[in-house]
Homo-oligomer: A and B are copies of this chain.
Amino acid sequence: MADTRPIGVFDSGLGGLTAVRVLRRILPEENLVYFGDTARVPYGGRSRETLLKYARQDLRFLRSRDLKAVLVACGTVSTTSLDTLQAENDLPIVGVVEPTCRRALAVTRRRRVGMIATLASVRSGAYEAALRRLDPQVDVLCRPCPLFVPLVENGRFERGDVVIETVAREYLSPLLEWGADTLILGCTHYPLLEDVLADICGPGVTLVSAGEESAFELKRLLTARGLRAPDGRRGEAEYYVSDQPEDFERIASVFLQEPVHHAARRIDIDKY
C-alpha cells in the first residue's frame, strides 16, 4: 500500500513553509511539492471572489503533478474557499481551520478561545463558525492583525524588538482583557511570533498554531487511508513560486528555520 506520490502544499507566499517544516519533521519519508504565490501575495485583504479564483489556479498548478493529498497552508484560502475546492477535486484536501479548532477545544479550560489572523480570515467568520459547530457553548473572540505578515517578512519577530512588541501588545490586549485562555494563531506566518506572543500572553494562555495542527491532521488522514510512503526513506521537497525565485533561499530559511539550498522554480500562475 506504500504510496510515494507527493503531497501538495500551497500558500499565498512563503509563510506556508512553516507547515512544510512540521511535515518534514513528522513525515520525513514523504515527497512534497510546495507552491507559494509570491506574485500575488498577500491574499489577506482580497475579496472572496478573487480568493477563490487564485485558490483554483494554485491547486490546478499543483495537480499538474500526480498528488495523493493537498495541504492548504493559507489561512485565508482555508477560511474562504476550502469547501469549494474539496467539492471540485477528487483527492483529500486538508485545510487549517477544522484541525486547529478541534485542538483549541481540547486544550481550553474555560471555553474562552481567542483567534488572530489576517483581516480576510477574521471577516470570513470561518474559525468562529467551526468552533461553535464543534462546541456550541464556546466563547470566541477573533481579532485581525494586519501588520504581522509584513513585520515577520521583514524580520521583525524577535524578542526585544519594540516594533513587533508594541504592535503585538496592541493586537492582543483586547483578547487578554476578555479572558482568553487559548489563542489560535490562524496564519502560517505567526509561528515565528510564538516567543513574542507567549511573553505577552503569559503562562495562562495556550497557543495553538494552525499550520502545525493541519500537518498532524494530514498525517492521521494518510495513515487511515493507507497512503503513507514507506518508512526509512528520505522524501524530497520541490519548491515553486510565481515571482522572484532569487529571494527564495533567504526568506525560506527564515520560515523553515534551517539553511535552504534548494532553488525555487518560477511558474506563470496566470496560465493555470
* A interface, CB within 8 angstroms of B: 38-40, 45-47, 50, 146-147, 150-151, 153-154, 156, 162-163, 166-167, 243-244, 247, 270
Contact = CB atoms under 8 A, between A and B. Distances in A.
A47 B40 CA distance: 12
Given A46-B243, A47-B244, A243-B47, A154 B162 contact: no
B46 A244 contact: yes
- The A interface is mostly helix, strand or loop, or mixed, namely loop
Contacts of A50: 39, 243
Nearest to A151: B147
A166 B167 CA distance: 12
A251 to B, nearest CB: 10
Contacts of A156: 147
List 4 A-B pairs, minimum CB-CB distance, nearest first: A150-B150, A163-B166, A47-B244, A163-B163
A115 to B, nearest CB: 19
A53 to B, nearest CB: 9
